[in-house]
Structure formats: C-alpha cells, structure tokens
Chains A and B, each alone.
Chain A
Amino acid sequence: MSEGFISRAFRGRRQQSDVAGRLPPGQYLERGFPVLSAGPTPHTPLEQWDFSIVGNVKEPKRWTWEELLALPHETPTVDISCVTKWTKFDTHWEGVSVETLLQQVDYDPNVARFVIAFSDGGYTTNLPLADVLGGKAWVAFIYEGQPLAPQHGGPARLLVPHLYFWKSAKWVRGLRLIERDEPGFWESLGYHNYGDPWKEQRYWGD
C-alpha cells in the first residue's frame, strides 16, 4: 500500500518561523486568511440586519445595526487558530464585547449556562456562557481596519479567539441562552464540543 508514503520535497505553504511556544500544538503559521465554507455567503442588507439575545432570558433583546455600532467598541488584537491547523498571529479586530451586550439582558447565569450562537444560513455553534463573558468574546465587524468582508463573516461575526475558530461563527445574528448544552453544526458531526487549541481538542473524544 502507500501507508507512510512521503512526497519528496513537499512542504506546503507553511512558513518556517521562530514561533516556539506561541503556536498551539499541531498548528502552523499562516500569513493568508483561508476561507472555509459550509454554505453560500449570506448578504443580509444592513437595514434588515439585527442581533438578538434570546432563549433563557427574562425578555429577548434586539439591536439593529446602528444600535450595535453605537455601543462601546473594543479593538482586540488576538491570535486565531483554525482546527484545520492554521494559526494567524496578531489579527486586529473591532467590535462590541459580548459582555456589553449581555449586560443589557436579564438572565440567571446559574440556569442559562450555555449559549448557542446562530447565524444567517443556519450555522450554529455552542459554547459555555462563561466563555463569552469576561472579555473573551466579541461581535466583530471590522478586520484589519476594514469592514469585515462577506466571505470572512461580514457584516459581523462572533469572535472567540481562545477556542478553535469554528466557534467564531460567521454571519452571526444572535445568541440563544440555554440551560442544557446542545451541540452545534460541527460539534454534532465529530468535532470537539469545547475546542481548546492548547489542549488540541479538535475532535469528539479528544
């Protein structure tokens, strides 16, 4: 068979860099910004766009595009890691902290312990509520100083850089607070439920 076959002199696009300690295990440094798709790029006009927090809350809360932009912005610079093994260092974003949004919602964090982020096109991903609080997550709409491009999730995506990037849902339209965890699009199809790149939690069972 061809088990263990090595292609002579093949290295791929990966860069040789002195990045010891900064790259999560099994990752390589990527200079580009790969686009991975599970469906067509949505194009919701901004006049129709909104972001909602629903589910296990006293009352659902909704922001229009203008209302979201009027909230305090933050400009996180973060490393991002995709489960497909690429990592980008020092990516620059601008957005509203999820903490800021949740502060405007009445909920019981002992009950609503998990969230599902939902997006245009039907994509979902699940996270513990604690992982979108404490300055760990944003609804981001500017990338490298420019409005976030549609193929990268524009007008706005979730940004949760401490987890594998499939958790940073593109085209995000809201969060649903839930009592019992529910696996999202990739989590229900073999990917890890939590996804910590430093523990290499790529797949179910890792």
Chain B
Amino acid sequence: MDDTTLDGNAAGGILREVFPFELTIAEETCAHCGATRTVGELTVYKSAMGTVMRCPTCEQVLMRIVSTRGRYWLDMQGVRVLQIITEL
C-alpha cells in the first residue's frame, strides 16, 4: 500500500459517469483470486491518466477506466462477476 491509495468511493464519480447505478455498493468477484468484495472496499489508484481499481487481497487489477475526448475506455477483465444491486 502507498500514501496515494484511495478507497472505492474515490472511483464513485467516474463509475457514475459510466453506469446508471450506484456502483460503490455493487459486489465484484476477482477473476484472479476469487475474493468477493464491495466495490467501495477496493483499492483505487486515481490519476489524471485514469482510474485503476485493484483487489485488496491480491493487488491485481480489477477494473481500469480512462475518460478521454468523448470516449470511455473500460477494462473489466479482472472482474469475474459484478453484482449490481438495484433495490435498496
């Protein structure tokens, strides 16, 4: 871990741009180690390049998002399953 690490809620803004759901309460299963966590618990690295979300258990990349010039680039290879809760 680093001084620069943030929590899943720090990715809340960009996730709200892409998904019409509150994704920080969604649950993801890591494709690498199988750990299932709430998105809000993930380790987030945010910079002007983009947002990278990693599994707190194995540190592998779960999701990467870049927003540029009228496009979003979303890589979710690291997520085996994403459970989006639609009703609270």
Contacts and interface: CB of A to CB of B under 8 A. Distances in A.
Note whether A and B contact each other (Cβ less than 8 A).
Answer: yes
Interface of A: 35-41, 83-85, 122, 151, 166, 186, 188-191, 202-203
A84 B50 CA distance: 10
Interface of B: 1-2, 4-5, 43, 45, 47-50, 52, 54, 59-61, 64, 66, 68-69, 71, 73, 75
Contact of B66 (A41, A85, A190): A190
B1 A36 contact: no
A203 B72 CA distance: 12
A40 B50 contact: no
A189 B69 contact: no
Given A190-B66, A190-B68, A37 B75 contact: no
B73 A189 contact: yes
B68 A203 contact: yes
Contacts of A188: 75
B64 to A, nearest CB: 6
A82 to B, nearest CB: 8
B71 A41 contact: no
A6 B60 CA distance: 39
A37 B66 contact: no
Contacts of A40: 1-2, 5, 43, 54, 59
A39 B75 CA distance: 15
Contact of B4 (A37, A84, A85, A189): A37
Given A38-B45, A38-B47, A84-B49, A189 B64 contact: yes
Nearest to A191: B66
Contacts of B47: 36-38, 84
A83 B2 contact: no
8 contacts: A38-B47, A38-B49, A38-B50, A38-B61, A39-B54, A122-B61, A186-B50, A189-B75
A175 B1 CA distance: 26
A98 B71 CA distance: 35
A151 B61 CA distance: 19
B48 A35 contact: no
Nearest to B1: A40
A189 B45 contact: no
B45 A39 contact: yes
A35 B4 contact: yes
Contact of A38 (B52, B60, B69): B52
A38 B46 CA distance: 7
A191 B71 CA distance: 11
B73 A190 contact: yes
A37 B1 CA distance: 12
Contacts of A36: 47-49
